[in-house]
Amino acid sequence: MNEGLTFDDVLLIPKVSKINSRKDIDLSIKLHSKINLNLPIISSPMDTVTESEMSISMARNGGLGIIHRFCSIEEQVKQVKRVKRAENYLIENPICISPQATLKEIKNKSIEYDFETFLVVDENKKLLGLISKRDYFLEENENKKAFQLMTPFEKLIVSYKKISLAEAKNIFRKYKIEKIPIIDKNRKIVGLITFRDFKNSLNKKASRDKNGKLLVGAAIGIRGDYLERAKELVRAGVDILCIDVAHGHLEKSIKTIKEIKKYFPDIPLIAGNIATTEGAKDLIKAGADIIKVGIGPGSACTTRIIAGVGVPQLSAIIKAKSGSKNIPIIADGGCRNSGDIVKALAAGASAVMLGSLLAGTDESPGEIFYLKNKRVKAFRGMSSAEAYKNKLKSTNDNPEYEPISEGINYGFIEYKGSVKEVLTNLEKGIRSGFSYCGAINIKELWQRAEFIKISDKGYKESLPHTINFLD
C-alpha cells in the first residue's frame, strides 16, 4: 500500500543560502507563453471567492483570478469585460453615449460597466463632449440630458494621434486634466487615456496581456452550455480558460479538452482536477496546457469523507509532476498558510490556487455581516448542494441525476480586509521560505528543495507552545 503525505507531514530542510535580501527573490512564473505571473497565486473559481473585483486585485498584485461559472453566460462575460476594462493605458473602444442620454441612463451605465467617464458622440461617432462623475455627481434631476451636463468639445484637451506614456504624462502635468480623448482629423473616436489608467500602468508587478490590460481567466464545465460559454468568454477577451470539474480524469473531460483546443487552439487551457501521474499524462495528451491538481484537499470540500477518494495533496503534486514533463502544475486546495504554499511549490507546482485564504476579503463576493460579534462573509464548497442548485438556476446544465453534496453548504470566513494585504503577507512568507531553501526563484526551489517527514510530535513542536496567549 502506498503512503500519502500532505503539508503537515513534512518540513523543508534549510540549505546554505547566498541570498542577501529576500526582496531579490524572483517569484515570477511563466504558466504559458501568454500568461506570466509575478506572484504564483491564483484565486479559485468559487462563487464566494472570485468575480471581477477579486480578479482585478489578483492581477494588480501579480497573480490571476479565475471567474467562477456558477452564473449565466451573460453574467460571466460581463465579469470578464469588467476586468479587461479596469486598466487600459489606451482604451481603444471607450464607452460612448448619445447627447440625448438621460442622467438616469448614465448612472445605470456607470453601474453596469463599473466606469464613471463617458464620451458623448453623435450618430457618426463624432466627439461632442465628455462627461465624468464630477459633472453629474451632485445633479439631482435624473431627466437632464448628457449634452446639458457634459464638458463640450471646445473645452477638452484632445490628441489627434496616439501618444506615448511620456507624452501623456506631459499633457496630464501641463493641463492638470484627468482624461485625454484620442480622435482622428474628423473628430471620430480612436481611444481614451485616463489619468487613473496612466497611473496604474506604472505598476510593473501587475499581470498583463500584450496590450497592457489585466489578465483574467474564467471557468467552464464539461456539460450543458460549456462550448457556448467558452465561445462567448473568448469573444469577451478572456486570457485563459479553466475546465473546472471535481474529477478531471474522465473520458468526458478529456473529450472536452480536445474540443476546446480544436475551436480555440491559441487560448491557454487549464484542466483538472487530477491527483495521479496517469491523470496528468492523459490530460496533457488531450491538449491541456496546464494541469490542476487536487482531489478533496479544499477546506470546504468533503469528497474524501463522502466518497472515500483522494490523495493527500503533497503526494498528489509529486505524482502529477512526474507525469507532466514540462507542463506547469497548479496545486489546487489544501494551503492554509504561506508555509503550505512554499511546500506546494517545492514539490513541483508552478502556482497554487487558493479559496479560503482569499475568501472573507473586501474583494470576495458577498456582504459582510455579524455572527457572534464577529464580522464574517459567507463561504461554501462548489460541490455543495446549495452551489449545485444555484448552478442549475443560472446555467443550461441538464444533469442525468442529482449528485450527493461533497462540500460545505453554509460556512463563514472571518472578515480579513483587503486582498492586497492578504497577498502581501503571503508573499512575505513565501519569500522567507525560498530564502531558507537558498532558492532565488521557483526553478531553483524545485532543484534545491529537500523534504523531511516528521512525526506527530514533530508537528506539535512546529506550533507555538509553552506560552500563554492573551485574548
C-alpha cell at 69: 461559472
Separation between Cα atoms, residue 271 and residue 294, nearest integer Å: 11
Amino acid identity of residue 432, one-letter, is: S
CA distances from 272 to 71, 280, 300 (A): 20, 8, 18
- According to DSSP, residue 33 is labeled T
- According to DSSP, residue 357 is labeled T
Amino acid identity of residue 12, one-letter, is: L
Separation between Cα atoms, residue 65 and residue 44, nearest integer Å: 7
**CA-closest candidate to residue 200, choices 54, 60, 36, 62:** 60
- Is residue 178 classed as helix, strand or coil in its secondary structure? coil
Query: How many C-beta atoms surround the C-beta of residue 234 within 10 A?
Result: 18
C-alpha cell at 253: 473531460
Angle at 7 between CA 5 and CA 13, to 5 degrees: 100
- Cα pseudo-dihedral 379, 61, 85, 256, rounded to 10: -60
**CA-closest candidate to residue 327, choices 390, 386, 268:** 268
Q: Which of 71, 301, 335, 437 is catalytic?
A: 301
CA distances from 176 to 27, 157, 169, 224 (A): 37, 10, 10, 52
Burial track 43-80 (b if 16+ CB lie within 10 A, e otherwise): bbbbbbbbbbbbbbbbbbbbbbbbbbbbbebeebbbbb
Enumerate helices (H) and strands (E) in the chain, giving the number of each.
17, 21
Separation between Cα atoms, residue 132 and residue 110, nearest integer Å: 10
Whether the CB-CB separation of 357 and 327 falls below 8 Å is answered with no
Active site residue 301: yes
| Enzyme catalytic residues | 301
